[in-house]
Amino acid sequence: MRNIKYTFASLALAATLIATAASAQEQSSTPQSIERKKMESLWFSNTNNAAGAQLDKMGYYSQLGINYNHTEGDFQRTQLGTNNNGYGFSTDGGGTFDNLKGTFLWGYFNYSHDKIHGARYNASLIDPLRGMPFYLADTNVSNWIHQSYELGMKAATPILCDHWIIGVGLDYQNMQGAKQIDPRPNVQMSKFEIKPSIVYTVGKHAIGAHYTYSSRREDGTATNSISLITQPVWEVVAPGFYNTAEIGSGSFSGLRAYNANAMGGGLQYSFQSDKVKLLLSGEYTFAVEDVNNNYTIPKIIGTTKENTWDVKANLQWNVCDDHALFAEVEYYDRSIDGIEYVQVWDNTYEVSKWVIISKNIRSNFSTQRTSAKVDYMQKKGNSYGWWAGVEVEKEKLSDIYYLPLSTQDVENIYLSAHVKKNFIFGENAILIGVNGGYKKNQSGEHTYSGNYADSDIYKNMVLRDFRYLQENALMWGAELSYTRGGLFKSNSAFFLNLKYNHIAPNDSDGKAHFDNYSALVIKAGLTF
């Protein structure tokens, strides 16, 4: 399996390089023109059906860039630390190639390196908020060093036999993470995903379907650099519920292995005319992930079973030659069951392993989101002059631990708006954008029946996170970008982009517990 993953990863990287080299046939590209291309490509941007990207008729483009990002503030989840400094490199490009008989080919590659300061309550996961309830936690405040590689591709045939299109999407991700203070977890994660797809076209109508399979593995080891001092850890099974252990005393190895497999699929329907594009899509994914301690004599800690639904409707209305409206309505539902095991050690000569006596669903974590947004775009050449939009989203978070019964429910509404103006002066362009939003809590309820109400992990993580999730907040941000076209060739451009976003609690009670959160991203690169 590993050789297959590396093979597909190499193909994905090759696709990125091919797309980058070939896209030089297109007229001048800028970050704004690429934004517009992706916004108008409904299949490409809103589905996992690579075959449907052929219907978007997306023009060639390529872009590459380097970035620096900095975040600061405590108005976020506890396990994410207090601030982050990072940098990265990214490239993507592709389109429909006439010299390949109309084949669609697109690829991407991303690299990032992040140093997260002040992280705690996580000693086994690179991403502690990915929906995994079984993890190791500690109270030692430390830095996490994260490094990530991501690459992938989409490819689609031209229309075959006047009706059929076949496509495939491939994605590969590799991440490493390490904490800098005992207990020192060193975590390796790899994920591979393949999405074959098909589309049948009849006139202005198209019906599509895709299948998804993914495999994910995350291995972590937590060890002490000072062997004479043991480090307490908590084997968490749900918020506020855990078993105690020690690393360095011989009672606990500090090894943790996560193995996940997922499969699913989706259906799509589209209608396209000169004035209107309509896309309806729905997708379902089922995933199972097993968590084990130790490698030689594994003991299963828990299993998660995850069901995810995502249904969307996208509309593009070309009001006239220079004006377009975009609308999207989406419903998202994710539910994760946490299964715990009762096991005994069989020490007979022939067996010598952990034997499962029983297993039961002990917890459930669910997320439901309903959102709607509308965007207006004033087109200008192959780019845009104005871009404005509004969005409303309702989110419901629900956690339950069945025995002893403990629950947490939070419901929020998010309102946001943005506007961008792109000033074009010959080969130069300056973009100015602003955005704002408001988070309004509708309800929040937390009940706890466990035995650890006085513990550090419950008071300073579980209760703090609950307070954060139900806190009202104000959000605002700004964007400034400079683009210089015709730098090397007539179709190339240099760009420099700055984005800043700020979030803060909106009432006196929230300000008494939290400060704020801000994020700065600086990116420079080339498009062609």
pLDDT tens for each residue of 255-283: 889 999 999 999 999 999 999 999 999 99
Cis peptide before 404, with omega less than 30 degrees from 0?
yes
The token duo for 308 is 């995810």
Q: What torsion, rounded to 10 degrees, do the Cα atoms 33, 36, 38, 43 define?
A: -140
DSSP assignment of 459-496, as one string?
Answer: IIIIHHHHHHHT--EEEEEEEEEEEEESSSSTT-EEEE
CA nearest to 174, candidates 163, 190, 158: 190
Distance CA 249, CA 226 (A): 12
Mean pLDDT of 481-489: 85
- At 8-27, the pLDDT tens digits run 455 545 555 554 554 444 45
Question: Over the chain, what is the mean pLDDT?
Answer: 91
- At 166-199, the pLDDT tens digits run 999 999 999 999 998 888 889 999 999 999 999 9
DSSP 252: B
Distance CA 277, CA 281 (A): 13
Q: What angle do CA 257, 115, 107 make, to 5 degrees?
A: 75
What pLDDT does 157 receive?
A: 96
What pLDDT does 25 receive?
A: 46
Whether the pLDDT of residue 355 is over 60: the answer is: yes
The token duo for 392 is 């409303």
CA nearest to 524, candidates 109, 65, 61: 65
Give the confidence band of 225 by pLDDT, cuts at 50, 70, 90: confident
